[in-house]
Structure 1
Amino acid sequence: MHATGARTPFTVLLVCTANRYRSPVAEHLLRAELAARADWVIGSAGTQAREGEELDSRVAALVGVPSGDAGSWRSRRLTAQLVEQADLVLTAEEAHRQVVVQMWPRALHHTFALLSFARLAAQLPNESVASGHALIEAVNQARTHTQPPQAGADDIVDPVRHLRRKLPACAGQIRGAVTALSAPLVPMRVAANHAR
């Protein structure tokens, strides 16, 4: 058991194909939504990403990141090490989830399509879980009582073609998912009191 005041980081990894649009949008929106949770470490990667690319200016504008604040962000290619280090992996598509699990089979029970995880989290009472690990456990339990979606139903729109039209729609899907998955988490000060 950890000493009072010592909080083990809870690492979330968002995954898409190129780590250019969907996963960076999800990374920044989730980080903003959970800004009060200093123990949550949120990052992203792409199954076919080019290493070291800067944050796209259109993504920065959509998620409200001032251009000067986006300078340290760089794209990353998905690796087994990144998956191994993550407590929760959320993917843009079911196909990405399959890549993650093939890369690191032990990640099976904490890897979800982002929209799937959000849909299951939306079934939980608001402010009902105190930690990321408890959220995963509750979502896994909810999944056992839920019919699986049709193929492709939980895939986030890929904006790579028709970027001007599809990127806002993609961001809208992700924004709704981020709101839904964070709603079951109790406020940070309450969670801290529970941990004492």
Structure 2
Amino acid sequence: MDNDAYLVTCRRSGAQLLVDAPADPDRLLALVREGSGSARLDIVVVTHRHGDHLGALASVVAVTGARVAAGAADADAIEEATGCPVTVRLRHGDHVRVGHLTLDVVALRGHTPGSVALALTEDLPARAPGSVARRTHLFTGDSLFPGGVGGTQGDPARFAQLLGDVTSRVFDRYRDDTCVHPGHGDATTLGTERPHLAAWAARGW
């Protein structure tokens, strides 16, 4: 299945953050230039250490000079695979800033030890004067998809850890209108997936 990559651009400053650099560096660099009008890319956040999420990392970093961030427990493996230093080692509860935007780091352990998701909350036009509407976007890598959590190779301990993190750190924290942007396939919302948590737990994958 094709991988997804996501570009977050601060409209006030032009700063940019790329979520994963899976493949096709020319296409990713074209996306970066489209977002800012230049090859400005401030940081690449690698959601986890699997090769299909970092195949273009070295090429993208070589052109842009972007910093690399990843979950602390996956950082060494990413450095070894790509030759790119991971200068920002992320832990649960950290924040990543890009221009005037702040993304919250949500560690979702189990698919890999250092898998991370990023949560970006944006202000929306409010319907009532003086009120503020907000919507959160979650970039979940391979930890949460439409229809279930990511693969844990049949390991019940890893599955329990991943489902536990997804439940307590995602479903218990964020609203049903939160948009989930996974590392493969289509987007979903937490409200769409929430009724199925018990079924996921029962099936064990």
Q: Identify whether the pair has TM-score above 0.5, normalized to the shorter chain.
A: no
Normalising to structure 2: TM-score of the pair? 0.30
Normalising to structure 1: TM-score of the pair? 0.30
More RCO (CA 8 Å, sep 6+): 1
The answer to which structure has the higher strand fraction is 2
The answer to which structure has the higher helix fraction is 1
